[in-house]
Amino acid sequence: MINITLPDGSIRQYEAGVTPMDIALSISEGLARNVLSASVNGEVVDATRAIANDAVVRLFTWNDREGKQTFWHSSAHLLAETLEALYPNVKFGIGPPIETGFYYDVDTGDMTLTPADMPKIEEKMLELARNKSAYARRSVSKAEALAYFTEKNDPYKLELINELEDGTITFYQQGNFTDLCKGPHISDTSPIKAAKIMNFAGAYWRGDEKRKMMTRIYAVTFPKQKELTEYLELLEEAKKRDHRKLGAELELFMFSEKVGSGLPIWLPKGTQLRERLQNYLRGEQEKRGYQMVVTPHIGHKLLYETSGHYAKYGADSFQPIKTPREGEEFLLKPMNCPHHCEIFGHKPRSYKELPLRIGEFGTVYRYEQTGELHGLSRVRGFTQDDAHIFCTQDQVKGEFLNVLELTTQVIKKMGFKNFTAQISLRDPNNPDKYIGSDENWNAAEHAIIDATKDVDLETTTAYGEAAFYGPKLDFMIKDALGRSWQLGTIQVDYNLPERFKLEYIGSDNKAHRPVMIHRAPFGSMERFISILIEHTAGKFPLWLTPDQFMILPVSERFNEYAEGIKVELARFDIRGLIDDRNESIGKKIRDTELKRIPFMLIVGDKEVEQNTISVRRQGQGDLGSMTIEGFARFFNEELEKGEE
């Protein structure tokens, strides 16, 4: 008998050779029906895998991430089986599960798949799933594996097998389809009840742009049709919230072919929004001892040669612009830090000045390949809410804490409830990738780790994700639809102070090199606003929204009264507009609702008589009539509610 430890800590005894499925069955039949895979001592395996010795076992169902991954991985095999049945000449690459669903990279030869092929593939998949084919695992020798795929003439699989150790190779077979795969898989195809081919896309074989472009087939499957329907509805909702669509509808920003792609143009409403965000952050930074600066949009090429960015990115940047007579070369500013280093270095600095916190809403320009551009989230010109903190080594942790505190406050103020942070450290196996001494790195990494512990921030750690000049902390937020986005970063940098030969005079009257912290809570205004638009579906927080109310006179006779109301509300610092068009009240309400203006203030005979306004809340409806003072009070309560 062996001892099996379950997640609740209980230990049960079974015969050696018991499978996770057997264990599930011994707990309940329902669990056994739903179990998709399991982990044995941390390794995810088939639910039918025999367990020889004492083990810690977890059972995974559709409710577990691992369960879903197994389900989708098995679905990828089912997709491959389907493709092979429909298009016998297709060659297969890899087919892993992803966050939602899975894909399979295939080489379709001369044939091109089109969206018209999707329903056919979906139907065939479900037809094959109903065969209830078992996913059968077997170990094969390398020679056997090579022989099989040589016979099948599948060069991609052969390439993969050649990189594997003999003795570690396994095949999985379901129905007529056999694939190289380490598993695990679900027991058979029958739980796959709903399938949707999402799209066809190009993907380089093994992610290498020099190699063949394969066709990547994205798809998703579910155990219930209803779940597929819900998933498609979520996608619909995301489409409705798309910042490119809402940005155009709400007249926040625009693009113009003549101005150039990837260069957003901020319209008046969007500019109001953006400046309110900046004013808010500016205020918070002033409280924390930041000093704002303004630096030019271009900089001498020498500046970026000094910083090292020209060597690293020069070839993939907008090319230098030249002065007509002297032939001097300038670059469009791709980042603000070199300028800020010059500010630090322009006069002798004392340790008494540190930490020196230099902030700038700095607009930068970076060349991005045409295929990368995407609305406001990936552009060629954008404004960073940038700042650089120059400090002593001893101050790094304290400054890091200050920045953490500021950043978390900013994120909360914006209405994001869920956020985590990723600590990006050196790759311990690849120390040559980084510059700077071990001592400095250790100090910086510990400063980050300690600081995040101090503030009880939920973090993940990624080795090898550090910048070449220092470790960093990236903030990840979850939006209203549960999607994750990366916001700003905090980075510790020993490189630039070195390159710019920055120094301060310490209390020992000797020169020391400062440490630099780069940080941007929003990241870029453009990208942040794109996330905010989609998170709020265009219904911005009351303090931030461009227009807080729209006064709707029942007819043109009341436009003058409306004007008076607007002036009175301005005294309470409440801003808005009057819809004085010659339109029906129903029409005005509809238009204002669609503009996502939070309050509609309707005025007609009744209101003039009683000196009131009739208040309607966007998305909610009529709130009844109020006096101006009453509304102002109510408004401020709502403002505070949003602040908590």
Catalytic site residue from 124, 340, 388, 595: 388
Contact 199, 100 (CB under 8 A): no
Structure tokens at 293: 């600066």
On the CB side of 253, how many CA atoms lie within 13 Å of its CA?
Answer: 25
Least separation, in Å, of the C-beta of 271 and RNA?
Answer: 19
Instruction: Identify whether 384 is a catalytic site residue.
Output: yes
Nearer to RNA, 370 or 509 (CB): 370
- Shortest CA distance to 267 belongs to which of 245, 240, 248? 248
Q: Reading across the β-sheet that carries 102-107, which strands appear in turn?
A: 91-92, 102-107, 213-222, 194-204
Nearer to RNA, 19 or 489 (CB): 489
Instruction: Identify whether 386 is a catalytic site residue.
Output: yes
* Interior angle at CA 349, CA 348 and CA 351, nearest 5: 150
Structure tokens at 104: 């399979």
Nearer to RNA, 218 or 280 (CB): 218
Instruction: Identify whether 366 is a catalytic site residue.
Output: yes
Nearer to RNA, 171 or 382 (CB): 382
On the CB side of 273, how many CA atoms lie within 13 Å of its CA?
Answer: 26
Least separation, in Å, of the C-beta of 75 and RNA?
Answer: 18
Nearer to RNA, 375 or 521 (CB): 375
Instruction: Identify whether 388 is a catalytic site residue.
Output: yes
Catalytic site residue from 386, 479, 493, 579: 386
**Positive/negative CA dihedral, 500, 504, 505, 510:** negative
Catalytic site residue from 69, 174, 384, 548: 384
Least separation, in Å, of the C-beta of 617 and RNA?
Answer: 9
Binding site for RNA (CB under 7 A): 112, 114, 199-204, 207-209, 213, 215-216, 244, 248, 255, 257, 260-262, 309, 312-313, 316-317, 334-335, 337, 366-375, 378, 467, 554-557, 582-587, 589-590, 593-594, 600, 602-607, 614, 616, 619, 621-622, 625
Nearer to RNA, 342 or 368 (CB): 368
Catalytic site residue from 77, 137, 241, 366: 366
Nearer to RNA, 341 or 600 (CB): 600
Nearer to RNA, 328 or 622 (CB): 622
Structure tokens at 610: 């009683």
Instruction: Identify whether 472 is a catalytic site residue.
Output: yes
For residue 644, the surrounding DSSP H or E stretch is: none
Least separation, in Å, of the C-beta of 323 and RNA?
Answer: 21
Catalytic site residue from 181, 337, 341, 391: 337
Least separation, in Å, of the C-beta of 484 and RNA?
Answer: 14
Instruction: Identify whether 300 is a catalytic site residue.
Output: no
Burial state string for 34-72 with b = 16 or more CB within 10 A and e = fewer than 16: bbbbbbbeeebbbbbbebeeebebbbbbbebebbbbbbb
Q: How many CB atoms lie within 10 A of CB 249?
A: 12
Q: How many CB atoms lie within 10 A of CB 467?
A: 15
Contact 462, 427 (CB under 8 A): no
Exposed / middle / buried, residue 153 (Cβ in 10 Å: 0-12, 13-18, 19+): exposed
- Shortest CA distance to 298 belongs to which of 311, 312, 317, 282? 317
Give strand pairing partners of 424: 462, 472
Instruction: Identify whether 512 is a catalytic site residue.
Output: no
Least separation, in Å, of the C-beta of 331 and RNA?
Answer: 8
How many Å is the Cα radius of gyration of the chain? 30
Least separation, in Å, of the C-beta of 641 and RNA?
Answer: 21
Least separation, in Å, of the C-beta of 495 and RNA?
Answer: 10
Catalytic site residue from 243, 339, 426, 472: 472
Q: Which residues are designated catalytic?
A: 337, 366, 384, 386, 388, 472, 518
